[in-house]
Amino acid sequence: GAGVSQSPSNKVTEKGKDVELRCDPISGHTALYWYRQSLGQGLEFLIYFQGNSAPDKSGLPSDRFSAERTGGSVSTLTIQRTQQEDSAVYLCASSAPGTGIIEQYFGPGTRLTVT
């Protein structure tokens, strides 16, 4: 079946603009995770959804970052007033812990460049 998909694959934006990143999880996966990977910080957790609720938002670096998930499926990560330090690869993953699938399967990522 189809894996996790993310769009866009690349995004270049000017400092101060807002961006939206999209994640389509594997069908039937109830859990969805956002991570980011940057040179200086490695792989960092951002937020986790179980269904449409987010029991763990502890990794969001500032209030400029927000995420939502609708219909227990697609998720959007929004970064407002982007800064250069937001440049990174944003990765989405999904799993189905309720069915015993606790492995997290990752999408190809969105490379965000803030100029």
Nearer to another protein, 19 or 93 (CB): 93
Q: Least distance (Å) from another protein to the CB of residue 16?
A: 26
- Is the bond leading into 8 cis (omega within 30 degrees of zero)? yes
Q: Least distance (Å) from another protein to the CB of residue 93?
A: 8
Residue 51: strand, helix, or coil: coil
Nearer to another protein, 88 or 114 (CB): 88
Q: Are the beta carbons of 26 and 4 closer than 8 angstroms?
A: yes
Nearer to another protein, 25 or 109 (CB): 109
What does the binding site for another protein look like in residue numbers (CB under 8 A)? Answer: 31, 33, 35, 37, 42-45, 48, 50, 56, 59, 89, 91, 93, 95, 97-98, 102-109, 111
Nearer to another protein, 33 or 79 (CB): 33
- Please count the CA atoms within 13 angstroms of the CA of 113 that sit on its side-chain side: 5
Where residue 71 falls (left for φ over 0; alpha for ψ -120 to 50; beta otherwise) is left
